[in-house]
Every structure is written in C-alpha cells, then in structure tokens.
Amino acid sequence: MDEGYSEFQVCGALAFLLPSVVKKKKNSLSFSFSGVPLLKFRIAAIRETFEESGVLVAKPEEALVKVPPAELTKWRTLVSGDASHFIKMCKLLSIYPDVHRLHEWSNWVTPAFEAKRFDTKFFLAILDRQPHAMHDNKEATTTDWVTPQEVVQKNRTKEIKVMPPQFYTMFELQAVRSLEALATEAKNKIVNPIQPEFNPAENGEVLIAFPGDPLHPSGAAKPTDKHRLLAQMDGVHMIMRLEKNIGIPSIIAGKL
C-alpha cells in the first residue's frame, strides 16, 4: 500500500511527487519521512544532484548498487525532462532519497539590488564512497573531484570561476581535517540567512559584507568585528579572500 503522495510545486512548476509515508509488503521497501526538517528541499536537492551530476544519494545501498548504469542513465534522462519521474524511479528500483544524509550547511539570499533573487539552502552530505559522476551538459558542463583547498587555490590562479557563496563555503571547509568532526559540526550547526551587502573598497576591490560585520545593515557587536569577502575583479574572474573573526565553527577555529 502506498500512502501520502502529494504534489509539491516551485514557482508554479511541478518539482516532484512527495512521499510522506510509503508502506509495502513484507521484505519490501518501508520508510517514513515524518518529522524530517526541510524535507521538500532535501528531496529537491537530491533530485537535482542526480539530474545534473548523475550522483544519486539514496538507500538502501544494496539495492542501489544492483542498478545497471544504463538503467540509471535512462532514469536520469526521464527525470531531467519531467521531475515527477523521480519518485516513480524510486518506487520501481525499491530505493528512496537518503534525506537523513543531508545536513543544512548554509542559507544564502541574493543581494537586494538584484532583479532576480533566490533564497538558497546549501546541504552537505558525507558519502561512504566516491560515486561515479558525469555532467549533464546543461546545468553542469564539466566534472571533476576537487578538495576545498584546490577550489580556493584555483580561484586565486584564475583556473576556475567561483561565486562568493561557493568560495565562502570552500574557504570554511578547507580547514577541516576530520570527516567525523565535520559530521558533528554539520549536525549541530545553527543556520541563519546570509544576505551579502556590496561596498566599494580600496585598490578597486569590492567589499562584500555579511551579517555581523560593521558594514552590513544588520550591524556588529564591536567595530573590530569582521565578516566579509574582499573581491578583486580580473576580467571574468573574481579573486576573493575571506576576513572573519566572529561566529567561527569550532572545527576551523584558529585556521582561518
């Protein structure tokens, strides 16, 4: 028996069919999403990751590894064309989105001066193995596995283009030395919205202030508080460095 399926829409478009509870016969799939925070966002994040990279964060692992690559590729194409195929795929393959593996890491809000704005949640997932990944040539055009340190360095050498939210996240994560510590931090992290405030700076730089910085409308506890990115435009590249001395997670304290 299947129960609790409902449509979830984003901006008027069907994003996915949401299973709140699924029950089947003995020795078959049985799971519940009851009480999971940000459930719709978690499922949407897993679905879009699958569409754009081919990486499917799902359970049970023993069922997922039995799916032939060609079968997943077929479903990836179907889901990319119609998001409602995602839950159909899960039901037919006897898998379900591993929503508990996702941890909310940050919440970025587009600056007020932008005509098109987003309220975006960043999720972090620690996987047991490195999955096969391949870009879709639509939303994503290249595929590579890189460390946070490599992202920060390649931004400095203009090898890759990185936007401020991604740079900020990689700058934080580059100091992490233990996945166990990262998992603990992610589970306990208090996430508040970050809406950048752009200010001119010296030497042609742009100062991007975040909540808690004196140059951000939210204000600061002390004039010496810093929570900002300094960005230098070089053609299409934005070369950035982070200055932060407040609200530093314990796993990276003293390493920024």
pLDDT grade for 44, boundaries at 50, 70 and 90: very high
Tokens representing 121? 């949640």
pLDDT of residue 84: 93
pLDDT band at 159 (very low <50, low <70, confident <90, very high): very high
The more confident residue out of 177 and 55 is 55
- Return the higher-pLDDT residue of 181 and 1: 181
Q: Give pLDDT, residue 220.
A: 81
The predicted structure's pLDDT at residue 32: 66
pLDDT confidence bin for 23, thresholds 50/70/90: very low
Task: Tell me the average pLDDT across 208-230.
Answer: 92
Is residue 15's pLDDT more than 80? no
How far is 16 from 88, CA to CA, in rounded Å?
A: 10
**Which tens digit of pLDDT belongs to each residue from 108-148?**
999 989 999 999 999 999 998 888 899 999 988 888 899 99
Question: Is residue 118 a contact partner of residue 50, using CB atoms and an 8 Å limit?
Answer: no
Angle between helices 148-156 and 164-173 (to 10 degrees): 130
User: Please, which residues have CB within 8 angstroms of residue 188's CB and are 6 or more apart in sequence?
Assistant: none
CB atoms within 10 A of CB 199: 14
Mean pLDDT within 26-49 = 79
Q: How confident is the model at residue 31 (pLDDT cuts 50, 70, 90)?
A: low
What mean pLDDT is reported for the chain?
A: 84
In this prediction, residue 57 carries a pLDDT of: 96
3-state secondary structure of 20: strand
Which residues does 147 contact at the CB level (< 8 Å), separation at least 6? 174
Query: How far apart are the C-alpha atoms of 229 and 72, rounded to whole Å?
Result: 40
Residue 27: per-residue pLDDT: 42
Write the CA distances from 61 to 22, 71, 88, 93, 123, integer angstroms: 18, 16, 18, 12, 20
Angle at which helices 69-81 and 85-93 cross, to 10° = 150
Per-residue burial over 174-195, b if 16 or more Cβ lie within 10 Å, else e, is: bbeeeeeebeebbeeeeeeebb
d(CA 191, CA 208): 19
d(CA 70, CA 79): 14
- DSSP track, 76-92: HHHHHH-TTHHHHHHHH
Q: Is 16 exposed, middle or buried (0-12, 13-18, 19+ CB in 10 A)?
A: buried
Model pTM score: 0.81
CA gap 109, 21 in Å, rounded: 32
Residue 13, pLDDT > 70, answer: no
